[in-house]
Amino acid sequence: MESPQIKTVPGPRARNFLRRGAESVAMLLLGFASVAIPLHLLLRRELRNAPQDIRTQGWPIRILQVLFAKYVIQWIDVEGVENLPSGSYVVAANHAYKSGVDGFILGHLLATRHGRVPRILVTADSRNWMVRAERWVLHHYGIALLVPDEGRSHTARRGGLVDIIASYLKQSSRHAVLIFPAGRAIADPELQLKNWSTGAVVAAEKSLCPVVPVAIGGLRLDWTPETVILSAIEADGAKPEDPPFRIYVRIGKPIAPTIDTKADLEQLRAAVAKLMQDIPGLRRAPGESDPAFGKMTLRNGRTLAFTDRGPRGGTPILYFHGFQGSRLERVPNLDDILTKLNLRFIAPDRPGIGLSTPARGRTVTGWAEDVRELTEHMLGPGQPFSIFGFSAGATYALACGRLPGLNAIALASGLGLPHLIMDWRRYSSEVWRILLSAKLANFRSGTFLRIEKKQRDLVYSDWGAYYEDLRSDLSEDDQRILARPEVEELFRENRREGYAQGMGCLLHEVQAFYSDPRIDLAHLEACTVLIVHGAKDTIVPVSVAWDLHQRIPSSQFSEVPGRGHYFIYEPGQMEELLADLLDAHRTCSTDKQRMPTA
């Protein structure tokens, strides 16, 4: 006799769980549909007149294309679109932006103005599965053309790369590939043209497609695609003479490949170099003609600009400029002082200032690594040097207090460490507003950028009004010093160079003060820290210097009677302070030589 079959009926809890699960899935699908359907209709409407290449892309590309065409392209100064071939082609461009914003701009520009969505080379393989997944998504949505992994041999990698590019170009007469022959992004325009790979020209030879030389520039080097889009949206409706940014793209005539790969590469490089000369920021800057000018490429690819004055065999002193300053900051007759004291005076631009590349999210303590590379490059590892920090430069000088080879530090009119100063009202009203706006800028930068733009416009277009307003809040001693024509001329040159890279340089400067630098003031490498401050300083009161003196055991404090913030511009004051720093440097060197070695 067969046993009766028993049906298992879900209990109340199980039914309740299943019901809730079904409701959650339904709500999720409803939410997705409520977003996806309107988005699909919007993209279909906005791209109804777009070429087929664009309309068949994945939705992320189509969204970015709509935003690009509506908000971004109006701020792009492009020449040479008529040079783009009707068939498939390779685009070879200079590469400066680590964020990939140049690829973003060129890709969407070609889509908007030429109806092509170029593929950008991306490495296919990686041991990091997250990177592999990300790159697969980029490839799936039509952005990336996957190429062999960098870990493979050079010959195999190059062979696989050019074959993949050539195969893709042969598949259609409307394909395009964007290549940066230099490989990694690098800030220095001259280095953007060095160590180019032959991949672009070899792929062109194999596919029988031309190579199009392109140059791009104009943006601050710390900008990202998100920065460009958000800035363009925020500036919607702005006047042409008041752009949120300006991007320059120059497209040259296509180059037909030959069997001479080396000659093709040189022709391509020369064509890109010529186009770069037409782009502000890529051609040689006026300041680079100064015999004292120098620059180096840091390990992370950024450019660090500096001036190198005085006898090359003199005692090396690094000078850190003040707020709104640059490497050009100097006092009258500085060269005579350096010769008299036999000092080598190296003054670097901080990131994003003058001709130094911006560093996104830079901090005060991060400056020390740049200085370490600078001293190793200029002097050699561990060689002795000292630092002179003026105003805000004093904060950065202290951040370098543990660098090997540092003998002494001089701080003149030093801003101190703002995160340690609880009573902001001890500063002048101007400095207090800057510190407060910097704190707020961490939440909303638009307000600070508008203030910065207003200041920059005055510096360049109405210097007289700017300088008069600057002097009005200073002490009588400072007003007297700044009234001298030779001092005003040095001020104008310095301030304009400080704003050379446009809006954002000072925003990052003040935000860096709130990076909460952990500086061990009790254990500095420097044997002596000289703190010199004017008793009548109305910008940074002398009480700030006294507070700093109490925190640094190795410091010597000197209050200069009757002097204000800019006392170093007074004849004799700078020479006296440099002489004291030189004595401290020599004394430290002697003391270190006497110390027993472990």
Which of 53-57, 355-359, 525-529, 530-534 has the highest average model confidence (pLDDT)? 530-534
Cα–Cα separations (whole angstroms), residue 528 to 227, 319, 414, 543, 549: 44, 16, 16, 20, 11
Task: Report how far residue 186's alpha carbon sits from residue 123's, in angstroms, rounded to the nearest whole number.
Answer: 19
DSSP single-letter state for residue 212 = E
Domains and CATH numbers, the chain: 52-276 (3.40.1130), 286-594 (3.40.50.1820)
pLDDT at 184: 77
299: pLDDT strictly greater than 70: yes
Mean pLDDT of the chain: 82
125: pLDDT strictly greater than 70: no
pLDDT mean over 417-423: 56
pLDDT mean over 124-141: 52
pLDDT category at 43 given cuts 50, 70, 90 is low
Whether 242 and 129 have beta carbons less than 8 Å apart is answered as no
pLDDT mean over 210-227: 87
Amino acid code (one letter) for 61: I
298: pLDDT strictly greater than 80: yes
Q: How far is CA 395 from the centre of its chain?
A: 20
pLDDT at 310: 95
Note the pLDDT tens digit of each residue in 300-323.
888 899 999 999 999 999 999 998
Task: Report how far residue 161's alpha carbon sits from residue 164's, in angstroms, rounded to the nearest whole number.
Answer: 5
380: pLDDT strictly greater than 80: yes
Structure tokens of 214? 């392109």
pLDDT at 560: 95
84: pLDDT strictly greater than 90: yes
pLDDT at 100: 79
Q: How far is CA 55 from the centre of its chain?
A: 34
Q: Which of 185, 186, 188 is CA-nearest to residue 288? A: 188
Which of 90-99, 185-194, 441-450, 564-573 has the highest average model confidence (pLDDT)? 564-573
Is pLDDT larger for residue 141 or for residue 550?
A: 550
Whether 587 and 556 have beta carbons less than 8 Å apart is answered as no
Instruction: Please give the helix or strand (H or E) that residue 55 lies within, else none.
Output: helix 52-55
Structure tokens of 579? 């002489």
pLDDT mean over 366-391: 95
CA-CA-CA-CA torsion for 553, 558, 564, 567, nearest 10 degrees?
Answer: -110
Q: How many residues are present in the chain? A: 598
pLDDT at 152: 45
pLDDT at 442: 55
462: pLDDT strictly greater than 80: yes
pLDDT at 151: 45
pLDDT at 230: 86
Q: Is 247 helix (H, G, I), strand (E, B) or coil?
A: strand
Cα–Cα separations (whole angstroms), residue 560 to 316, 322, 545, 557, 569: 26, 19, 12, 10, 13
pLDDT mean over 441-463: 74
Instruction: Please give the helix or strand (H or E) that residue 147 lies within, else none.
Output: strand 144-147
423: pLDDT strictly greater than 60: no
pLDDT at 317: 97
432: pLDDT strictly greater than 90: no
pLDDT at 275: 94
Is pLDDT larger for residue 480 or for residue 439?
A: 480
In terms of DSSP H, where are the helices of 499-560? 505-512, 542-551
Is pLDDT larger for residue 34 or for residue 398?
A: 398
Neighbour tally for 181: CB within 10 Å: 22
Which residue's structure tokens are 């001329």?
Answer: 489
Q: Which of 595, 592, 596 is CA-nearest to residue 406? A: 592
Task: Report how far residue 414's alpha carbon sits from residue 407's, in angstroms, rounded to the nearest whole number.
Answer: 19
pLDDT at 33: 66
pLDDT mean over 182-192: 80
Note the pLDDT tens digit of each residue in 243-284.
888 899 999 999 998 889 999 999 999 999 999 988 877 766
Cα–Cα separations (whole angstroms), residue 258 to 200, 204, 262: 12, 9, 10
Q: What b/e string do you get for 500-518 counting C-beta neighbours within 10 Å, with b at 16 or more?
A: bbbbbbbbbbbbbbbeebe
pLDDT at 46: 64
In terms of DSSP H, where are the helices of 141-260? 154-170, 199-207, 225-234
pLDDT at 355: 87
pLDDT at 273: 93
Is pLDDT larger for residue 19 or for residue 434?
A: 19
Task: Report how far residue 319's alpha carbon sits from residue 325's, in angstroms, rounded to the nearest whole number.
Answer: 12
pLDDT at 126: 52
Burial class (CB in 10 A: 0-12, 13-18, 19+), 348: buried
Neighbour tally for 187: CB within 10 Å: 22
Task: Report how far residue 162's alpha carbon sits from residue 179's, in angstroms, rounded to the nearest whole number.
Answer: 11
349: pLDDT strictly greater than 80: yes
Is pLDDT larger for residue 444 or for residue 255?
A: 255
Whether 263 and 201 have beta carbons less than 8 Å apart is answered as no
Largest CA distance in the chain: 119
Q: Which of 349, 366, 362 is CA-nearest to residue 518? A: 366
135: pLDDT strictly greater than 60: no
Q: Percent helix, strand, coil in the chain (nearest 5)?
A: 45, 15, 40
Note the pLDDT tens digit of each residue in 401-418.
989 999 999 999 998 776
Which has the minimum average pLDDT: 12-16, 108-112, 278-282, 584-588?
12-16
pLDDT at 598: 46
Task: Report how far residue 412's alpha carbon sits from residue 540's, in angstroms, rounded to the nearest whole number.
Answer: 11
pLDDT category at 194 given cuts 50, 70, 90 is confident
Which of 185-199, 361-375, 414-428 has the highest average model confidence (pLDDT)? 361-375
Any residues with CB less than 8 A from the CB of 217 and at least 6 apart, and which? Answer: 94, 96, 189, 247, 248, 276, 279, 280, 281, 282
DSSP string, 422-470: --GGGS-HHHHHHHHHHHHHTT--HHHHHHHHHHHHHHHH-HHHHHHHH
Q: Are strands 211-217 and 247-251 parallel, antiparallel or unpaired?
A: antiparallel
539: pLDDT strictly greater than 90: no
pLDDT mean over 465-473: 89
pLDDT at 154: 46
Whether 530 and 414 have beta carbons less than 8 Å apart is answered as no
pLDDT at 226: 84
